[in-house]
Amino acid sequence: MSQTPLQHSSEIEQEELRGFARSVAEVEWLLLILVLLFLFVSQPPTMNRELVVATLIGFAGFILLFRYTRFFKLGQRLKLGLEAMVMVGFLTAVLAQIGNEQSPLVNLYLLPIIVAALALGKAATVLVVALVCVCYMLLGSLTTALDVLTLPFLSRAMGVLSPFLLVAFLTTLLSDNIKKAKARIHALSDQDELTTVYNMRAFVRLVQREHQRAKRTENKYSIAMVDVDQLKNLNDVHGHEAGNRAINMVADALLRVTRSSDIVGRYGGDEFIAFLADADKYSAEEVAQRIRNVVYSTTVEVGSQMERISVSVGVATFPDDGSSLDNIIAAADKAMYADKEYRAPPPGKLVIQKR
């Protein structure tokens, strides 16, 4: 079954993750600059200068290597998670030299927490928050000689870490709501108003990308044009509600017949269009016949009766029938009208038949 606009939201999420990853690189540089400014202004007397400089250079090298080279070939979520943890480690190494858990830079732990909450979801955020808590306790042990279980220290730790937990919870909640709303908006903007398939604008955008890929790889693909036979007569006799039910039934049949790699759209009115990935002429003709059979074998409610309808289907294949997407669509449209004329009923006779 081919993808619907709602299922396509995962691809949109991946695009957003790639954009967010670019923003995280800027956050990392900001973190580095803030630490440098603090060190330049405060110049802590207890700081091990050589170790701090080595930590700063190491973090800068990590950013350059991780974000601006192809050395690390990891998924976007894994990369973002690793970056958040490296930020926590970098801050902990710096804080250990400039005041431990009492340093004002402790608040910078919020940056990796917010990154995880915005991009990685609840589980990853909990992991990052837990890591921050462990690092804070470790810094406290360096100051209090491992006596971190005393009531005064735990009270101070609760005062510092509680806002971190609250920010993590609220940011994660807000991020989830935003993602759901954006996915729904994207889906609605791509979805045909009547059916669950793509509208023509979204269909052309997606298929144009597949067309360019087929040109690069010298692969074939086919376009199928589908027209509901005598829908106007159906509307005139039984009303537009019956016609809408017929259109939805054809859309459902197309989604059942096609594969997840295929793309189905509503061309307009009573016509649909389908992109058949990696399908040559023979395979496309087989799909066309399955579409005819599945539509005709499915009944639609018309008034108080169940009726059958038929569709005309035409297919065209790239590059056999044209070198551009427009050429292929035009050829499929021409083949569809030829199919309609070949199987046309006698004048005045409806295609729909009683069950």
What length is written for the chain? Answer: 355
193-240 pLDDT tens trace: 888 899 998 899 899 999 999 999 999 999 999 999 988 888 888 888
Residues 39, 36: Cα–Cα separation, whole Å:
5
Residues 105, 91: Cα–Cα separation, whole Å:
8
The whole model's pTM is what? 0.57
Backbone angles phi, psi at 349, to 5 degrees: -100, 130
Residue 272 tokens read as 């649909």
Is the CATH number of domain 200-354 3.30.70.270? yes
Per-residue pLDDT at 52: 86
In angstroms, the Cα distances linking 194 to 168, 233, 247, 249, 268 are 40, 20, 8, 11, 11
**Which position has the token pair 């035009």?**
330
DSSP letter (8 states) at residue 320: T
Calculate mean pLDDT across residues 314-327.
94
99: left (phi over 0), alpha (psi -120 to 50) or beta: left
Calculate mean pLDDT across residues 116-139.
90
55-72 pLDDT tens trace: 999 999 988 888 777 666
Going from N- to C-terminal start, the domains of the chain cover 9-189, 200-354
Q: List all residues 6 or more positions away from 199 whose beta carbon is below 8 Å from its beta carbon.
A: 190, 191, 192, 193, 265, 266
Query: Which candidate, 274, 258, 264, places its Cα nearest to that of 336?
Result: 274
CA count, 13 A, side-chain hemisphere, 34? 18
- Average pLDDT over all residues of the chain: 84
